Amino acid sequence: MNRRAVIAITRKDIRSITANIQVWLPMVMIPIFFSVLLPIIVVFAARASKGDIVSDMQIILDMLEKLPESSLKRIMGSLRTDQQRIVYIMFNYLMSPFFLIIPVMIASTVSIDSFVGEKERGTLEGLLLAPVNMLSIFAAKVLAAFLPAIGVSLVSFVLFAICANVSAWPLFGRVFFPHINWAPLVLLVMPAVSLFAILINVFISTRVSTFQAGYQLGGILVLPLVAVMIGQFTGFMLLDTGILFAVGVILMIIDYALLRIIVKRLDRAWLFESQVR
């Protein structure tokens, strides 16, 4: 692998991202909503409610009563009011799928642009004819999508933590977020799901002729996360530390298998024929 070529192509792609509003606008607006506005809205609603939010979330509270002895049950039992319990479980458990949507959407947006974007800008021919092996080109495309996805996700997580703790300080009088279950989510699941989305969308980018077509196909990856969110909010499942760790390990294995398959199929002639027409 040509490291200098990988770095050069990665830098070029990241510069093209910042110059394309349809690519970078979702990368800014969605994280701002999830990490800044959403926690403030949730805490404000909880503090302003007079039992309404508790009745709406009663299914979650009932489910928590039936949980086996765990750190979650001990923490929930130590909280004085239902408002505190609702806010705690909302931030530390129910909102965790949102921080899988952020890296998936960013990774999908950037990785879809990887090859089809080159075609639309008229630079794909030059890239494919450059004296750089396909493995280096592929690695650069993956890296150019992975770095923004992880970078924006980590910044969003920090902003979310600050906004959550500041806005909920009158309720708790202390820092209550994050719980330990966020460690495997941020350190393992988030990178793994980002890489999975990138690998799938880079492949899609080699098959479609326009960015919009690729973006619509790549949007299908968000549907499983929506299902997880529904499961969380209906009380069907809670993503605790063990489940998140297991999900992260499974995703890493899938990523490795996908990477092996894609690398074996890298072919400059096929890509040239499929895109340059």
76, 64 Cβ separation under 8 angstroms? yes
Instruction: Measure the CA–CA gap between 114 and 206, rounded to whole angstroms.
Output: 8
Backbone angles phi, psi at 129, to 5 degrees: -90, -5
What is the C-alpha separation between 210 and 1, in angstroms, rounded?
29
CA separation for the pair 154, 187 (Å, rounded): 10
**E strand or H helix at 44:** helix 38-48
Which of the 8 DSSP states describes residue 69? Answer: S
Token digits for 189? 């699941």
pLDDT of the residue at 236 = 46
Contact 104, 197 (CB under 8 A): yes
d(CA 263, CA 229): 33
pTM over 0.85: no
Those residues whose C-beta lies under 8 Å from the C-beta of residue 46, and which sit 6 or more positions away, are 53, 83, 86, 87, 90, 171
Which residue numbers in the chain have pLDDT < 70? 22-23, 49-73, 114-125, 205-240, 268-277
Q: Which residues contact 131 (CB under 8 A, 6 or more apart)?
A: none
Q: In this predicted structure, what is the pLDDT of residue 211?
A: 56
Residue pointed to by tokens 């800008």: 121
Cβ(139)–Cβ(38) under 8 Å? no
Determine whether 206 is exposed, middle or buried from the number of CB atoms within 10 Å of its CB (0-12, 13-18, 19+): buried
Task: Specify burial of residue 113 (Cβ count, 10 A radius: 0-12, 13-18, 19+).
Answer: buried
**Cβ neighbours of 237 (radius 10 Å):** 13
> DSSP letter at 131?
S
Tokens, residue 38: 């959403």
185: nearest Cα among 245, 102, 141, 98 = 245
Find tokens 């890489």 and name the residue. Answer: 195
Query: How many whole angstroms from its chain centre is CA 253?
Result: 18
Of the candidates 94, 119, 110, 117, which has an alpha carbon nearest to the alpha carbon of residue 197?
110
